[in-house]
Each structure stands twice: as structure tokens, then as C-alpha cells.
Chains A and B, each alone.
Chain A
Amino acid sequence: MTDKTPRDRGAPPPRSKAPLWFLLPVPALLLWGWVLRAAPEELLAPALAAGVLTAALLTVCAALLARYARTVHRLRNRIDAISAQGTSLAERDLPRAVTRLREGASAERVLHGLPRVEHPAGQAVLELVVAEISRAERRRAATVTACATAAGRIQAMTTTMLADLRAMQDDHGDGTAGADVLGDLMHLDHAVAQTGRTADSIAVLTGARSGRRWSRAIPLESVVRGAMGRIGGYQRVRLHHVPAQAVAGFAAEGIIHALAELLDNAAKFSPPTAEVHVHVEEVQAGLAVMVEDGGLVMGEEALRRARETVDRGLDIGAISGTRLGLSVVGLIARRYELSVSFRPSSRGGTAVVLLVPRPLLKPLDTGPPQASAPAAPPLPAQSPAPSDPGTQTAPQPHTQQPPPPPPVSQTDAPPGPADRPAAEETDTPPRHASGLPMRRRGRTLAATQRPEPGPTTPGPTTSARGFGAFRSAVRGQEPTGPPKDDQ
């Protein structure tokens, strides 16, 4: 017995690998063989029994240990697998699922696309999360759509109301007695215009368009004044010299709206007596509209926040309840590629510069003189217009705004390779390539329009001849007679 206890103690060491435990009884067997040989005869039987018992115990121990080791190994593998799955779920699958849900995929489809989580609880959590996000996303989309629809209706009503109000103002503004009514109508007009701006803001934030579309280019002065008309403190806004430019119809409403928001900010954040100045300046890239107020100087932090708000895309969660304006400006700026910059103003307040890119601009055609002589000026103004865009596609000529100089530069000396083709295009109507006369886009239209005054002179002769024929036909049968003879 005494010599077997040390063997027992020595057994535990090889614990690392399962098969090693089966070597455990081996030294015991060796020891046992030596004991059997060395032991005296009378002790042989008990030694034999004790040895067999110990060997059996050791074997059982070894088997148990091996089993535990296998179990531990399997469990560790499983834990590793589960933690790997958890990591990939958190880092890859869930974000992808959220993106797909945001894109409008249904919860079932998203779950189908994801690898299945082995653990049922994990799978349940995943399903719950996906279903919940999907529901939230649907709710959000429904809310946004409802807002957009409501805003669209208000926009439509506002547009109708503004048109009606203008008609009423025209009606009542003609009589001398109507001054009071006109004043009230103007007051209403102002209120409705502000309501319209709010509806426009909601529409833009929900991804819809600003109110209406203009079917023609809008002169810059009207753009700025249109923006002024939509804010509360428009009487404090001073508009300085405005270049003779117009904004393309499709972008005009957006720019009016963005400008209205900027003007509103400037008017709101400056003392009620301070004026807000609007300067418009032509620059290389387009047109810079500067809104300058004399209010509080925005600190660096506030400027940074304003820039961030404008730069950030649509993130409804990040919009604060009270400062919708700059987010709206940011969204519109992104849509029309306007650039908005903030800086401290020399007047003590803040200056915001809205840069309208050149492709959105058009030269102001026959702006104010249309009233004095509506017939004469449009023709000369229209005829140069077709010759410019004639050789190129429609939108580009506006980017190459300096066409007026080319004819001059061509007569002087063609300075660069870039200028030469432009000059040629503007001045070589008869033949362009292979010596053949080339027709220009717009030229035929101009030709058909120009002769129109001309034909009026031959017109009378033909009509007189016609009348003569008619008269002779009515009077006597002579003219109708000869044809019959001919036949």
C-alpha cells in the first residue's frame, strides 16, 4: 500500500493531452511486476489484489480525464466560434443589414441574406433587431412621406393664394379708394409668402423640391427681392447694385429659397434696427451674393457649427428644432452645387457668401427696356443669342460666358488655341468643313422670323391680285370662261 501512494500522486502530471492519460497505468504495472517478484510468498496474494485494484482505478481515472479534456476542447472551440460570429455580426452583418433596411429591403429578405447565427438565442436577437429596425425605418419613411405630401399641398395652396392675391392687388390697386385694401392685401401677401417658405423648408428637408418652377430665367434682382418678400424683416434688407444677370428657371426657386433662409437668419440674428446688406458681385466662378448683417459676431465655434450644418447632408436626427434654415440651405446648395461660406463681416456681424455657379446663370435678355419698346429690342437681342449656342450644345455656351469678346480678339490676333475655335465658330457661317455651306442651329429660325416684316410688302400685291381675281369672278364670267375653254 505504501509504495502505491506515490504512484497515485505521480499520476496527475500528464493532463494536457487525452491519450497520455492512458500511459498513466503503465508505470504502475511496471512497479507492480517488480513488487510481485520481490515480495515474499505470503504477501503475494494481497499485493496482487491491491495492484489489480490500483490499476483498475488508474485506468478509470485516465478514461474520465480524457473525456473531460475532450469536452473542454469542444467547448473552447464552440466559444471561439460563437465569439467570432458575434464579432462578425457586430462588425459586418448588422451594419450591412441596417444599410439594406434603409435602402428599403424587407426584414425577411435581409434576414435571408445574412448568415445564420448558430445559437438560437443569438438568432432570435438578430431577428428581433432586424424586425425592429425595419419597423422603425418604415415608420420613418411613412412620416417623411406624410410630411412631404402635406408640405406639397401647402406649397400648392400657397402658390394659388399668392397668384390670387396678386390678382386682387391688381384689381384694388387701380382705384384711388383701394389703397387701404391694397395695404391689407400686401400684408396678407407677406404672411402667405412666409408660410410658403416654411412649407418649402419642410419639403426640402423631406427630400422634395422647393415650391414651384419658373418657366423662364429670373432676373437677379427679382431673385433677391423674391427672397426678401418671404422673410419677416424685409424692410431692413438693403439691396445694392445688382449685375444684369438672370438665374436659369429650373434653379431660380431653389436659390430664392436658400437666399431667403440666409436673409432670414441675418435679419433674425441682428438687432431689430440694424440693416442687412446684400451685395451681388460677378466673379470668375459665377456670381457671389453676399449677405452681411450687423448683428452679433459669430464666434469661431459658431461659424464652424454653421459650416458643418451647411456641409452636412440630410440627417434629420442631427437637425436641431430651431435651426432648420441652415440645413435647408445646405441641402439646396448640394442640389444646385452652390457654395456657401461664412466669415466675420467688416460691419461687425457675419457675412455669408452664396456662390451661384456660372452654368446656372444667363445674361439678362432685354430686361427692363421691354416696357418702352416691346417690339424692337427683342429681335436684335434674340438674333445674337442663336449664333452663340449655334455650334455647341445648349448648356455649354453659358459656361463660356465671354463670347462677346471673341469677335474682337479674332480681329486683333487669335491669342490661344482655345480662343481660335470659338472665334471661328462665331464668325464662319458660310462654310465650315469640306467647303460645303453649313447650316446653323437657330439660324433658320432667325431667318424665318426676320423675313416676316419683309413679306408684308409683297403681301399687299398678292392680296390685291387675289382681290382682283375675286372681283372679276364676281362681276363677270370672263376669268372663269377661258379655263373652261382651255379644258
Chain B
Amino acid sequence: MTRSHRDESPDRLHVITGGRSSGADGALDAVTLVVAESAPAPGMQSEHAAILRLCRSPTAVVEVAAHLGLPVTVVRILLTDLIDTGQVTARHPVSAPSRTHPFASPDVLEKVLVALHNL
């Protein structure tokens, strides 16, 4: 995580997030795919504009964070801003039943539990 001297910038994270360290949308996790719904507007914060440019096609939150060189939490806060204004939408991953774990979904497990109780 050591940054080279050259990569440093006078921007501090607290300014980028406006002093927030939490408040990100809880549903956004590291692998959520986000898609830009609009093009970057001229007066935008540069990180927001960069996110919109990055997310023309669905991109994972971690990927955005890696490209921007910012921590995931910070990117989630920035993305939440954009989601709130409707410029970005998030696609939450749905875990499909796989062959190895066909009944891994909580619904199935709950049904099994109920059935066991009824025995």
C-alpha cells in the first residue's frame, strides 16, 4: 500500500468525501456492479466525473476503487452520492444456485429447518 512519492497529491480523503467516513449505502459491497446513467457534467467533482467515465459499462466497486486509487469505503461514499442523484445505478449480485450448493439459499434452509421441527 505504500504510495510512491510521485503519486502523492495534496488532496486529502476527508476533503474528497466532505468529512464523511460512513454513510455509504449498505447494499453496496465491494463486488457490486455499478453503471453510469449519465455523462459527467462540467462542474462536477473530479472523482465523480472519473467514476461516471469508468462505469460506462458495468464495473465492480473494487475496480473503480483501484482505478481511482482510493479506498473502497471512500469510493462507496462517492458512489452513494451518485446513486442518490440518479447518475449511477447499482446491480447487486444475485447468488444463483450452483451445482455444488444447490440448496444454499436461506429460503431452502428455512424450509428444511421447519420440516425438521415438524418431524
Contacts and interface: CB of A to CB of B under 8 A. Distances in A.
A117 interface: no
Nearest to A226: B10
Contacts, number: 114
In terms of DSSP, what is the predominant structure of the interface of chain A?
Answer: helix
Interface stretch (B17-25, B79-87, B104-112): B17-25
Top 5 A-B pairs, shortest CB-CB distance: A173-B71, A226-B10, A183-B21, A229-B12, A241-B43
A172 B72 CA distance: 9
A367 B46 contact: yes
Interface string B12-32: 111111110110100001100
A219 B5 CA distance: 17
Interface of B: 1-3, 5-6, 8-19, 21-22, 24, 29-30, 42-43, 45-46, 49-50, 53-54, 65, 67-68, 70-74
Nearest to A220: B46
A176 B29 contact: yes
A372 B71 CA distance: 17
B53 A225 contact: no
Given A171-B1, A176-B73, A368-B49, A222 B43 contact: no
B8 A163 contact: yes
30 contacts: A162-B12, A169-B71, A170-B3, A173-B70, A174-B73, A179-B21, A180-B22, A182-B13, A182-B73, A183-B22, A186-B21, A187-B14, A190-B19, A214-B10, A219-B46, A222-B10, A222-B11, A223-B10, A225-B10, A226-B9, A229-B10, A234-B14, A240-B43, A241-B42, A241-B43, A256-B10, A368-B50, A371-B50, A371-B53, A372-B54
Interface in A278-315: none
Given A189-B12, A229-B11, A241-B42, A174 B19 contact: no
Interface residues of A, number: 46
A189 B14 CA distance: 8
A216 B6 contact: yes
A211 B51 CA distance: 31
A352 interface: no
Q: Of residues B9, B49, B68, B74, which shows the largest number of chain A Cβ atoms within 10 Å of its Cβ?
A: B9
A57 B14 CA distance: 107
Given A240-B43, A241-B43, A371-B67, A226 B13 contact: no
A187 B16 CA distance: 13
Contact of B73 (A162, A173, A187): A173
Contact of B19 (A178, A186, A223, A372): A186
Interface string A176-207: 10111011001101100100000000000000
Nearest to B75: A173
B37 to A, nearest CB: 17
Given A172-B71, A371-B68, A167 B12 contact: no
Given A218-B10, A223-B10, A173 B3 contact: no
Interface string A232-258: 001100001100000000001100100
B118 to A, nearest CB: 38
A273 to B, nearest CB: 15
Interface string A310-322: 0000000000000
B30 to A, nearest CB: 8
A284 to B, nearest CB: 22
